[in-house]
Each structure stands twice: as structure tokens, then as C-alpha cells.
């Protein structure tokens, strides 16, 4: 059956979301229809609104959520109606080169590189006012009901609080994994984290869990520092407080630079600063923030020649279908906290106010 429900539709760039009645088609073969119970908002959603991340319109955004399975299509065996689940914007098909390789997690079925805004079969499950509406990263969570491919959904503990574990769908896992999986931070090491939004704070949590002895948090918004310290940052610095480049400040603070640095903003200047502030020979710098479309980065290759490593990380390097249920289990065992990452809880009709809070750093 087609479900009629409410969704936040973005008709064009740089406009607010419009709460509309949409029609959500039933799941096709190997698809799952989910009732979304909680969704987080992420800077990547905002990047689509501003045009930094290019996607087709109209579109239903949102990719960090948790919900309950409403129905399943033919051939779906791993998931049944009533299961609690988290949609996965990085699927895990289990068949492509990245899925089969232990070193990779960026499944070829992801919509990250293609930006088609469609289901794997090239069609959409959403209609609004007679028009087809695009999907976002195969998830589209700013709607009461969504349809995802079976490879893009993880079944989780039925006791998990969905308004907390929805963060494991993107922000938390991305930051936490960047530290534990991508950088493989070691006990006693020093780390620098550029950007203290939800993902940056999750990097701080990961560095602390890994046993880093010094975690230097960097942000131009000093209001973020108290929370960073609560979650494990040992030092907090604001680049605006110095009249020299921030990588020089970090070099002076640490002697030879940090062992691991993380850029969790998505800016060219901070990416090169994060690279420059890590140890010249064995330092590792990880790009976690989504880079803006069509911008190039320029840097002195001598920074790499001496041995530094520059890495990228999508969804924290986790193989999504395998890792998400385990991360939820770890949360239930209190291996890490999520509550401090949640600043506001709004009814979803106030989604535009939520994005205003995101843009003002609140």
C-alpha cells in the first residue's frame, strides 16, 4: 500500500524546508519501508541547501536516524516488520571490492559519488503534488516514512532508545571511527581536533577511549570548549586568539607536532593546517569534514615527503551493517555517552528552527 504522510521537502536551494504531504510507495524487492522515530540534523544536509554538496531537487534530506520497520519487500530475510533499525547512508552490499576488502568500508552502492538521488534501481519512492521527489544518500530521514535498500539498513537492539542511538547513523560513528578505525589512535598519543560540532566532539570521545594522553580541541567558537573538556579534551584553543598560523601554535604546544590530527569542518585552509600540525615523519592527518564541491587544495608537498600520512574517512571507516549494531550494543553497555551530543530536541515540524540553531553554532 502507498502511505500518505508528512515530510520536509526541499524544493530548491537556499530556501526553507516545506512540510508537505507525500506519498511513499511500498518497498520493492530487497527494500525496507521504515517509520522514522528520531532524526538528527547534520551539516551535510545543510551543504545541500547551500549548494556546497550538489544534489537534484526536489529532495527529502536527512541521513541520521532511527526507526521501526513498517513493511519489507520481496526477498528481504534479515529484517522483519517491528524491528528497530538505523538507516545507513553508507550501505554494505557485501559483494563489491570495498565490502570484500578488510581495509575498506565505502561500498560501491553508495550515492555519495553519483549524487543521483535515486534508489539503486534508478527510481524514487516519493511523490509530492504529483512530482517525483529525490532521495538523499539512499536514506531520506526527514519524513515520517522512508524506503531504503536492504543493504542500507541495520537491525539494532530492541531496547535501544531511538532518540539517542539515531546519532550512530552518522555523526557519532563518523567521528568516533575516524579516531579508532581510520587513524587508529594509540594510548599515550597526542591528538588535535579541528571543529567541535557533533562529529568533532565524537572524535574527541574516540581519542579518549583510545587512550590519547593529550587531546587539543580547536574551534573559532569558544562556546564549544566546555563541552569538549567534558568529553575528554585536555586543551582548547581558539585560532582567533593568536596572531600566527594555528599549526605553528600547535607545533609550539607539542614540540614536534601531534601524532594525529582531524579536520572535522570541511574547509581547505583547516585541512592544510591539520596536515601541517602533525609530526613531520609519522604524523597522521584525517579529513572527516565533507569538502566543498569544485574547490581545490594547494599545499607544500614537502609536508608529505617527510613521511606524514593524509587520509580520508567516510562514516568513520566502519563497515556499516556489521558495525552499527555493535556500536548500539556498546552504547547500551555504557562504553561511550551520546547524551552530551544532543543540545536540543524539537518536534520535527520545527525543522527549520533546528537548522537555524545548527548555523549559529548552538
> pLDDT digit string (tens) for 247-296?
999 999 999 999 999 999 999 999 999 999 999 999 999 999 888 778 88
For every residue of the chain, which 3-state class applies, written as one string? CCEEEEEEEECCCCCCCEEEEEEECCCCCCEEEEEEEEEECCHHHHHHHHCCCCCCCCECCCCEEEEEEEEECCCCCCCCCCCEEEECCCCCCCCCHHHHCCCCCCCCCCCCCCCCCCCCCCCCCEEECCEEEECCCCCCCCECEEEEEHHHEEECCCCCCHHHHHHHHCHHHHHHHHHHHHHCCCCCCEEEEECCCHHHHHHHHHHHHCCCCEEEEECCCHHHHHHHHHCCCCEEECHHHCCCCHHHHHHHHHCCCECEEEECCCCHHHHHHHHHCECCCCCEEEECCCCCCCCCCCCCCHHHHCCCEEEECCHHHCCHHHHHHHHHHHHHCCCCCCHHHCCCCCCHHHHHHHHHHHHCCC
- Which residues does the annotation mark as catalytic? 42, 44, 47, 63, 170
**pLDDT value, residue 53:** 86
pTM of the model: 0.94
How high does pLDDT run on average in the chain?
Answer: 95
- Model pLDDT for residues 164-203, shown as the tens digit of each residue: 999 999 999 999 999 999 999 999 999 999 999 999 999 9
Domains of the chain (ranges, CATH numbers): 3-171+317-360 (3.90.180.10), 183-312 (3.40.50.720)
**pLDDT value, residue 141:** 98
Amino acid at each position: 500500500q502507498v502511505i500518505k504522510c508528512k515530510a520536509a521537502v526541499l524544493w530548491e536551494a537556499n530556501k526553507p524546508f516545506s512540510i508537505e504531504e507525500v506519498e511513499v510507495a511500498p518497498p520493492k524487492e530487497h527494500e525496507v519501508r521504515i517509520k522514522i522515530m528520531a532524526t538528527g540534523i547534520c551539516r551535510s544536509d545543510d551543504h545541500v541547501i547551500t549548494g556546497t554538496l550538489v544534489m537534484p531537487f526536489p529532495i527529502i534530506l536527512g541521513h541520521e536516524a532511527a526507526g521501526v520497520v513498517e513493511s519489507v519487500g520481496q526477498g528481504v530475510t534479515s529484517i522483519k516488520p517491528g524491528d528497530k533499525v538505523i538507516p545507513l547512508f553508507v550501505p554494505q552490499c557485501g559483494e563489491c571490492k570495498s565490502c570484500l576488502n578488510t581495509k575498506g568500508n565505502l561500498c560501491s552502492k553508495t550515492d555519495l559519488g553519483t549524487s543521483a538521488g535515486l534508489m539503486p534501481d534508478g527510481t524514487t519512492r516519493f511523490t509530492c503534488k504529483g512530482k517525483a521527489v529525490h532521495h538523499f544518500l539512499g536514506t531520506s530521514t526527514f519524513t515520517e516514512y522512508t524506503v531504503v535498500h536492504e543493504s542500507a539498513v541495520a537491525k539494532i537492539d530492541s531496547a535501544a532508545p531511538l532518540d539517542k542511538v539515531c546519532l550512530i547513523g552518522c555523526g557519532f560513528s563518523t567521528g568516533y571511527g575516524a579516531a579508532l578505525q581510520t587513524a587508529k589512535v594509540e594510548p599515550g598519543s597526542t591528538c588535535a581536533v579541528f571543529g567541535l560540532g557533533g562529529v568533532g566532539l565524537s572524535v574527541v570521545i574516540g581519542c579518549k577511549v583510545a587512550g590519547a594522553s593529550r587531546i587539543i580541541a580547536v574551534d573559532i567558537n569558544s562556546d564549544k570548549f566546555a563541552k569538549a573538556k567534558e568529553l575528554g579534551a585536555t586543551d582548547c584553543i581558539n585560532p582567533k586568539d593568536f596572531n600566527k598560523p594555528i599549526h605553528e601554535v600547535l607545533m609550539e604546544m607539542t614540540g614536534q607536532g601531534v601524532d594525529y590530527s582531524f579536520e572535522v569542518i570541511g574547509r581547505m585552509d583547516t585541512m592544510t593546517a591539520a596536515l601541517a600540525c602533525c609530526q613531520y615523519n609519522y604524523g597522521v592527518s584525517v579529513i572527516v569534514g565533507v569538502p566543498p564541491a569544485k574547490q581545490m587544495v594547494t599545499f607544500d608537498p614537502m609536508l608529505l615527503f617527510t613521511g606524514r600520512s593524509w587520509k580520508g574517512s567516510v562514516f568513520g571507516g566502519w563497515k556499516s551493517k556489521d558495525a552499527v549494531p555493535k556500536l548500539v550494543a556498546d552504547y547500551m553497555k555504557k562504553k561511550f555517552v551520546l547524551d552530551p551530543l544532543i543540545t536540543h530536541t524539537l518536534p520535527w515540524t520545527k525543522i527549520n528552527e533546528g537548522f537555524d540553531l545548527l548555523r549559529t553554532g548552538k
